[in-house]
Amino acid sequence: MNKVIYEDDFDLSEINSLEELQNMAGNCARCGLRGGCSGVVFGEGNPEARLMLIGEGPGADEDRLGRPFVGKAGQLLDKILAAVGLERFKHVFIANVVKCRPPGNRAPRPNEAESCLPWLYRQIELISPRIIVLLGGTALQNLVEPDARITIMRGKWLVSKSGIKIMPTYHPAALLRDTSKKRPVWEDFQKVRDEYLKL
């Protein structure tokens, strides 16, 4: 029987493969989200990708299929990637701030994100991307600054302490609600592509 992961025994530093990390994540019970979803949506893509995309959390389609960004927003994201010459499974690894679907597709609460972020941090360490694209305000606020605003920060390069270049941009779901955001995101991904080609 698999061991359930709770707060008091949570140390991922000894995990040295994405496969092992994914297996462990499937048994996580650090917040209440796991009880209300079908399963953990760990992430997918090239485990050696130099580019990582980080969104908010799984939606209904993602929860049902166990894969990130497979609904309408994900289909739009695939088109954006293709338009700049990048392929989802070749050039990219995609993950989310939380790995379980919040009820009604709401944004994850701060305590839920805090409980789940160690999984994401270890993913980042194991993948070692050179560029991270933060898709939307939730990713920006949880990985950069709690008070950051995507409307102000999008399109501006940031650099992590470990030297990873970070580009915040709008979440693809925001583009479906407001088509005026499509052009800024297109411009942001062109910058990402140009930086990627320098690697």
Banded model confidence at residue 19, pLDDT cuts 50, 70, 90 = very high
Interval 145-163: pLDDT, tens: 999 999 999 999 999 999 9
> How many structural domains does the chain have?
1
- 22: pLDDT confidence band, cut at 50, 70 and 90? very high
pLDDT in tens, 116-156: 999 999 999 999 999 999 999 999 999 999 999 999 999 99
pLDDT (tens digit per residue) in 49-66: 999 999 999 999 999 999
Residue 6 lies in a domain: no
- Rounded distance, CA 78 to CA 62, Å? 15
Q: Looking at the domain assignment, is residue 157 inside a domain?
A: yes
Asked whether residue 39 is domain-assigned, the answer is: yes
Structural domain boundaries, residue 80? 13-198
Q: Which of 84, 93, 92, 73 is nearest to 172 (CA)?
A: 73
Question: Does residue 91 form part of some domain?
Answer: yes
**pTM: predicted TM-score of the whole model, two decimal places:** 0.94
Q: Examine residue 4 and state whether it is found in any structural domain, yes or no.
A: no
Show Cβ contacts of residue 4 under 8 Å, excluding neighbours closer than 6 positions. Answer: 27, 28, 29
Residue-level pLDDT at 1 = 32
CATH number at residue 187: 3.40.470.10
